[in-house]
Structure 1
Amino acid sequence: MANVSLEKVADVLCFAGRQQRFKHYSSVLKCEMHFSLFLPPQAVDKKVPLLVWLSGLTCTDENFVTKAGAQHVAAELGIAMLAPDTSPRGEGVPDDDAYDAGVGAGFYVNATQAPWSRHYHMYDYVVQELPALLGREVTALDLTRSSIMGHSMGGHGALVIGLRNVDRYRSISAFAPICAPSQCPWGEKALAMYLGEDKTQWRDYDASLLLAVAGPTIPIRVDQGLADNFLTSQLMPETLIAAAPEKYPLQVFQHPGYDHSYFFIASFIEAHLRFHAQFLNL
């Protein structure tokens, strides 16, 4: 690490790599933040590509690294994995009593409405601030080779961020993503709260709307469990499928019996990492 702007708070050996956790002050979110980073064993000798994971509602940076079982495949493939938190946190950060709003529910947007607009800029945090910080301080990362993935709210974030930044990410994947937030209760509540009631301001954060007008293509993989309690009311993968231009490189896999949990993610995380490895030139 180059300087003191990152404080390492955990560092353990995992599949011959290092599972680490850091805290830092975010000038974008105006609070202290944590993130988790897995460095595969290959990072000792050479620069490695980065796969960003965005978690869902109520999660922190630690859920994925402790539940998904991704490190053994990442270690084999030589891929680093970054897991940011899901929202700003701490004293002075606005919150809401509901689980699907406020702390733990940042929705990866840049909020424009008070009181959220001071802190809730998770889009810029993921796309701008964290890569700049890692580029300065983690010399083992090759940030010219980056991809992004996520789950549920984080799947929405991965799709939106990837589609809006095809020059930055080489591939996108998502588990049970919120595909059309402009049309589902979770999304309508969050987007109205963070961005206001003018739905024209929501378009930049709706994956189905973005995909329908996509220019340069980016490979996308989506996995959806068919026993997911949120499938029809909140996730709406059919909207994403219908929006895709003809011959767009979108793959959607539907799995009977699987629900919305990390058991589903753990069952197919290896397939996602191997999907991304194709495009990270491994």
Structure 2
Amino acid sequence: MSSPTNTAPILTVQALQEGCAACSMHQLCLPMGLDEADMLRLDQIIGRRRRVKRDQSLYRMGDTFNTLYAIRLGHFKTYQMNSNGSQQITGFQMAGELLGMDAIGTSRHQCEAVALEDSEVCEIPFVQLEALFQDMPVLLRQFHRIMSKEISREQGVMLALNNMSAQQKLAAFLVNLSSRYVTRGYSATRFQLRMTREEIGNYLGLAVESVSRLLSSFKKNGIVDVNHRDLELLDLPALRSIALGTPAC
């Protein structure tokens, strides 16, 4: 009888090539700082890559929490329902960010996550991830860093929006998008708005007419160039100044 061929190493290498190590977002996501062996262990608990079509829900408010989702491709919005039954958008998420952390404390999702375009996520079973934390302190520290950064970002947005004029809100929103795209290796000044003007207004607490009027004002003053959803930030320093409150255009 011939000895069985051991194919496990080949499969393991292939899994690594298709998994976290080969993902262009791996420096922004959980694997940052892990060596190859630890990254393999993380790859082995990731259940699957899940494709989410545009306007499809990844999870709904009240759903039982079992899984974190690392966005591999695409964009999402998260929202809650107001007492009058209308949506209140709480954030826009993009590749390299985690979805589902809102449910860790209560074991149920506190918002709904919907794809703004055809997207793809990596499913990370949370119970298995917690087990890895015990053996991989680097992974635990990275997870705490991500959670802390997300909490700080959300608190900063809430405080800023409460004290900003409409013009400042939109400028700050565009500057924030610019910085997040740069972190992902994309252009700081040319990108496409994945969300509608109505969704931007909902998030910022502005009427859709105000968003359109402000974009037109920024365009007239040579600060941005906008064509439908295609956006170019022509004067990013000026946009930052507006976000800080000076000067107004």
Question: TM-score of the superposition, structure 2-length normalised?
Answer: 0.29
Max Rg structure: 2
**Structure 1 or 2: larger helix share?**
2
